[in-house]
């Protein structure tokens, strides 16, 4: 342990830490560009200069290790002047692009210039001109003029994904960030460099110019792209998700997520969403209201005997949905045929984040009881369909039509389905419940390791108002333990908050969708059950009381970081 004094605060820190890390531990933010907690130390931006007693010159805080008895000043006159000089130097060739730059609002250079900068420029000459709008690969656009050569992106490819794809060429003010000759940036994790770029040099092709950062509300959620369950922010404007960025969780995804995961918002916004519940009238699906849809489903289920109905849960649905479905199947429908489909793409995984299991909650669905007991699983259900054993198939949030045979077999039975988007199973359905997507409901996913993580409402369904969900957030608050600007604390988009029905910018589509647990509760109660859950947390409370693995867990305990299930 080393005892050091930073700005008059004496603190004992571990040996081997740098001054910057020690300062962050006690909540002092030292400005920096090239330092990133997950990357090696480059020490090239010189922004983190601090004054250390008995050192002849200023030292860079990111690369100077703490020594017992060290006395550090981060706010002295000398340091302030050095910071102004560094910023002035970086800004010499940095274009005044802020009005058109996507990074504006979450730009480290912009923020630091505002906080520490000299406020004016003495540079009257022509700025260096370099290539702009360079497509680096399928997802990334590079603006070399804006680059401040921090080399974070280069180090990311070298160290994190171990697939070098970027490098600097030339020197001095002519230095250019570029790919190797004839190569493209196409690594499955490439878009992380957009997030770690401290300026707007690397921008997303998908998100380019879509919206200014301060107009969006960021909501904590979990990526539904695979069983890893990367922690993410969903960025919402006018009730539409515009982008997904990773949220730091050192236990799950650290600072990263894959490119595939960033596009998992597309189905939520897509045109093939089911916006209202539907029932089949004269062979065609027509939109109706919830009352009638639930009534129709109940009348179909009323006439069947136990074991004449097959129930399929989903690895895409939450723990709560799956729990209530299996409870409904076992106690109300009294069927043994309960299972869910696994969507495993063998070989499509790596040892970093991407998992072969392409669903977010297959472990959770299994744990809460959606599983086949001794030969009553999916294969037996298909076999049962062949032998015309079943009268009704109840499918929640999944597409069970894996091949043409199942497609035609579904003609023989009544099909009740919960679905977010149109699919093959929906085509065969007699009742379709418009299901809330992962962005439209509250609930929990259990990832492959058994970590229970919470998803939140980001896109408002019809029966929700903004004030029911959002807590006030502070602008640009710095998370002391990472030094990165905590994007979730951006101010709640005021356009969203103050919009009225007469404002076009607040008239984003609200779909008449419901979480599956609510629908199951309605149907079950029509069939004589007495389910009284007011919210998904009520369902989760019951899970934590009845399922051994979930004992002791609660939404409060899960929080933003998630919590492990009891494995023993």
Partner 1 sequence: MTQTKIDGRAKTREIKRKANLNLLERLYLPEIFKGLSITFRQIFKPKFTFEYPDVKWQPPASFRGRPVLVVDDETGVERCVACGLCARVCPALAIEVVADETELDKERYPKKFEINMLRCIYCGLCEEVCPEEAIVMSKEYELVFTSREEAIFGKDKLLTPASKLKDRLEFLRKMR
How many Cα atoms within 13 Å fall on the side-chain side of residue 329?
A: 30
When the beta carbons of 361 and 493 are compared against partner 1, the nearer one is: 493
Shortest Cβ 498–partner 1 spacing (Å): 6
Is 504 a residue that touches partner 1 (CB under 8 A)?
yes
Helix 77-91 to helix 108-116 angle, to the nearest 10 degrees?
140
Is 502 a residue that touches partner 1 (CB under 8 A)?
yes
309, β-bridge pairs? 392
Would you say 275 and 253 are in contact if contact means Cβ atoms under 8 Å apart? no
Is 192 a residue that touches partner 1 (CB under 8 A)?
no
When the beta carbons of 83 and 94 are compared against partner 1, the nearer one is: 94
Task: Give the footprint of partner 1 on residues 472-501 (CB under 8 A).
Answer: 494-495, 498-499
Task: Give the footprint of partner 1 on residues 156-185 (CB under 8 A).
Answer: none
CA distance 346 to 357: 8
CA distance 192 to 499: 33
Candidates 475, 495, 468; CA nearest to 239 is 495
Helix 536-546 to helix 319-327 angle, to the nearest 10 degrees?
70
Helix (H) or strand (E) holding 396: strand 392-396
When the beta carbons of 55 and 100 are compared against partner 1, the nearer one is: 100
Site string for partner 1, 120-159 (x = CB under 8 A): ------------xx--------------------------
When the beta carbons of 143 and 339 are compared against partner 1, the nearer one is: 143
Is 215 a residue that touches partner 1 (CB under 8 A)?
yes
Contact range with partner 1 by CB under 8 A, out of 111-119, 191-199, 205-213, 291-299: 205-213
Q: Which residues contact 475 (CB under 8 A, 6 or more apart)?
A: 214, 489, 490, 491
Q: Which residues contact 423 (CB under 8 A, 6 or more apart)?
A: 399, 401
Candidates 173, 188, 210, 558; CA nearest to 353 is 188
Is 99 a residue that touches partner 1 (CB under 8 A)?
yes
Please work out the total of residues on this chain that contact partner 1, with binding judged by CB under 8 A.
Answer: 21
Measured between its terminal Cα atoms, the distance across the chain in Å is 36
- Number of helices (H), then strands (E), in the chain: 17, 23
Contact range with partner 1 by CB under 8 A, out of 212-220, 322-330, 385-393, 394-402: 212-220
Shortest Cβ 215–partner 1 spacing (Å): 7
Task: Give the footprint of partner 1 on residues 59-98 (CB under 8 A).
Answer: 98
Is 104 a residue that touches partner 1 (CB under 8 A)?
yes
Shortest Cβ 117–partner 1 spacing (Å): 17
Is 100 a residue that touches partner 1 (CB under 8 A)?
yes
Contact range with partner 1 by CB under 8 A, out of 144-152, 207-215, 251-259, 281-289: 207-215
Q: Which residues contact partner 1 (rule: CB under 8 A)?
A: 98-100, 104, 132-133, 208-212, 214-215, 494-495, 498-499, 502-505
């Amino acid at each position: 342990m080393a005892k050091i004094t930073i700005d008059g605060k004496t603190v004992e820190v571990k040996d081997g830490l740098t001054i910057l890390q020690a300062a962050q531990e006690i909540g002092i933010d030292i400005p920096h560009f090239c330092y990133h907690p997950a990357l090696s130390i480059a020490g090239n931006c010189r922004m983190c200069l601090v004054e250390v007693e008995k050192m002849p010159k200023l030292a860079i805080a990111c690369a100077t290790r703490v020594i017992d008895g060290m006395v550090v000043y981060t706010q002295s006159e000398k340091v302030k002047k050095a910071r102004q000089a560094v910023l002035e130097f970086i800004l010499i060739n940095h274009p005044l692009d802020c009005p058109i730059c996507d990074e504006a609002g979450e730009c480290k250079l912009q923020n630091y210039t505002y906080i520490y900068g000299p406020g004016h420029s003495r540079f009257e000459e022509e700025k260096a001109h370099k290539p702009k709008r360079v497509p680096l690969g399928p997802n990334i656009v590079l603006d070399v003029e804006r680059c401040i050569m921090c080399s974070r992106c280069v180090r990311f490819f070298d160290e994190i994904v171990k697939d070098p794809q970027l490098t600097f060429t030339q020197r001095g003010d002519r230095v250019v960030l570029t790919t190797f000759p004839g190569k493209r940036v196409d690594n499955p994790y490439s878009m992380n460099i957009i997030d770690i770029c401290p300026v707007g040099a690397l921008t997303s092709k998908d998100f380019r110019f879509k919206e200014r950062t301060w107009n969006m509300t960021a909501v904590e959620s979990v990526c539904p792209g695979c069983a890893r369950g990367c922690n993410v922010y969903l960025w919402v404007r006018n009730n539409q998700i515009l982008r997904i960025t990773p949220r730091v969780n050192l236990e799950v995804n650290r600072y990263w997520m894959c490119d595939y995961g960033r596009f998992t918002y597309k189905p939520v916004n897509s045109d093939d969403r089911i916006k209202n519940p539907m029932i089949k009238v004269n062979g065609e699906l027509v939109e109706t209201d919830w009352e009638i849809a639930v009534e129709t489903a109940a009348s179909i289920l009323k006439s069947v005997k136990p074991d004449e109905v097959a129930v399929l849960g989903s690895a895409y649905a939450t723990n709560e949905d799956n729990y209530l479905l299996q409870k409904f199947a076992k106690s109300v429908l009294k069927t043994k045929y309960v299972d869910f489909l696994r969507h495993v793409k063998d070989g499509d995984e790596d040892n970093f984040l991407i998992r072969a299991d392409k669903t977010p909650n297959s472990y959770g669905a299994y744990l809460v009881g959606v599983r086949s007991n001794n030969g009553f699983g999916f294969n037996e259900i298909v076999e049962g369909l062949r032998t015309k054993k079943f009268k009704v198939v109840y499918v929640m949030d999944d597409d069970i039509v894996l091949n043409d045979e199942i497609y035609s077999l579904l003609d023989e039975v009544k099909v009740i389905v919960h679905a977010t988007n149109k699919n093959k199973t929906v085509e065969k359905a007699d009742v379709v419940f418009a299901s809330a997507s992962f962005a439209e409901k509250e609930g929990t996913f259990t990832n492959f390791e058994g970590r229970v993580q919470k998803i939140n409402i980001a896109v408002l369904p019809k029966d929700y108002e903004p004030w029911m969900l959002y807590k006030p957030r502070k602008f640009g608050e710095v998370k002391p333990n990472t030094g990165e600007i905590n994007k979730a604390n951006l101010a709640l988009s005021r356009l969203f908050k103050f919009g009225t029905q007469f404002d076009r910018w607040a008239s984003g589509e609200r779909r008449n969708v419901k979480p599956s647990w609510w629908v199951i509760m309605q149907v079950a109660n029509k069939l004589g059950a007495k389910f009284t859950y007011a919210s998904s947390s009520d369902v989760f409370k019951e899970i934590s009381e009845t399922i051994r693995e979930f004992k002791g867990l609660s939404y409060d305990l899960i929080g933003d970081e998630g919590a492990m299930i009891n494995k023993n």
